[in-house]
């Protein structure tokens, strides 16, 4: 497990690399701060057939659970985005899944996008509730279990709202995982900057419960007995009330 913002902060931060994916002009920037990273992106987007954004990442083999608090997100574009991404490679065109928070002065909500294979289009697969983003108390989380990618958000890092789960079979066993910031073509020369704090990356099964199989709807006659099932994974002690 790597934690930024506690003992060993400098060593944990040094384990992340940073670069611009795509053709950034002017270049993006990553600043190591006390407790995390300030990540800026100059132009471009994460959408359609190719991407242009700033990525702060590690290469992780197998399952993982990454969480971070986004203390702020500044910029001028309506679709400025920041969040957590898993990616097959460092090209513009790679398959990826992206748990997103948007700028409070823009769309101001959460959603999850993905490109299922290289050179495919990127689409919004899951929109969260219409709850507005709440900086600085905004957490995002991304879990990988096999080929499944599970996005979540929270206001306190304890109670998580899972916005879906998606199979991305194109992801290799060793994928690139980390923090992503994208601006938008209508931003001009103004950079978008996200303040990422309290970055935690656990390798292996999810640290906290994540639902990997949702209940399936059943049509039944009134009074008939119906059984629903759900599969969740997580370490440590947790419980459900069965309702």
pLDDT tens for 69-118 read 999 999 999 999 999 999 999 999 999 999 999 999 999 999 999 999 99
What is the phi/psi pair of residue 151, to 5°?
A: -95, 145
Q: Is pLDDT larger for residue 43 or for residue 21?
A: 21
How many alpha carbons fall within 13 Å on the CB side of residue 51? 33
> Do the beta carbons of residue 221 and residue 81 sit within 8 Å?
no
Percentage helix, strand, coil for the chain under 3-state DSSP, each rounded to 5: 5, 45, 50
> Per-residue pLDDT averaged across 8-31, rounded?
83
CATH code for the structural domain at 2-208: 2.60.120.200
Give dist(CA 2, CA 12) in Å, integer. 6
Per-residue pLDDT at 201 exceeds 60: yes
> Do the beta carbons of residue 55 and residue 176 sit within 8 Å?
yes
Which pLDDT score is estimated for 222?
A: 79
Give dist(CA 180, CA 54) in Å, integer. 6
What is the phi/psi pair of residue 32, to 5°?
A: -75, 125
Tell me, rounded to whole angstroms, the distance of Cα 164 from its chain centroid: 12
Per-residue pLDDT at 2 exceeds 50: no
Which pLDDT score is estimated for 223?
A: 72
- Counting Cβ atoms within 10 Å, is residue 32 exposed (0-12), middle (13-18) or buried (19+)? middle
> Do the beta carbons of residue 192 and residue 75 sit within 8 Å?
yes
Torsion angle of C-alpha atoms 198, 202, 208, 210, degrees rounded to 10: 110
**Extents of the domains making up the chain:** 2-208
> Do the beta carbons of residue 75 and residue 193 sit within 8 Å?
yes
Find the range with the poorest average confidence among 9-23, 40-54, 150-164: 9-23
Interior/surface letters 194-222, b for 16+ CB within 10 angstroms, e for the rest = bbbbbbbbbbeebbbbbbbeeeeeeeeee
How sure is the predictor about 141, in pLDDT bands with cuts at 50, 70 and 90?
very high
The pTM of the full predicted model, rounded to 2 decimals, is: 0.85
């Amino acid at each position: 497990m790597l934690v930024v913002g506690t003992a060993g902060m400098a060593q944990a931060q040094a384990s992340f690399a940073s670069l611009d994916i795509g053709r950034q002009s002017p270049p993006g920037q990553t600043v190591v701060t006390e407790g995390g990273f300030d990540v800026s992106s100059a132009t471009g987007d994460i959408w359609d057939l190719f991407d242009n954004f700033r990525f702060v990442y590690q290469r992780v083999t197998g399952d993982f659970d990454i969480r971070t608090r986004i203390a702020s997100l500044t910029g001028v574009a309506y679709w400025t985005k920041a969040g957590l991404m898993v990616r097959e490679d460092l090209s513009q065109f790679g398959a990826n899944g992206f748990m997103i928070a948007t700028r409070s002065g823009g769309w101001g909500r959460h959603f999850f996008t993905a490109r299922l294979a290289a050179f495919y289009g990127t689409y919004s697969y899951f929109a969260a509730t219409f709850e507005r983003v709440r900086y600085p108390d905004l957490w995002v989380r991304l879990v990988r279990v096999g080929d499944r990618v599970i996005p979540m958000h929270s206001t306190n890092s304890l109670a998580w709202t899972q916005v879906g789960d998606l199979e991305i079979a194109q992801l290799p066993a060793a994928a690139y995982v980390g923090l992503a910031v994208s601006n938008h073509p209508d931003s001009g020369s103004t950079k978008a900057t996200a303040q990422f704090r309290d970055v935690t990356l656990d390798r292996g099964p999810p640290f906290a419960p994540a639902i990997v199989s949702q209940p399936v709807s059943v049509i039944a006659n009134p009074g008939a007995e119906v059984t629903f099932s759900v599969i969740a994974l997580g370490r440590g002690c947790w419980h459900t009330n069965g309702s």
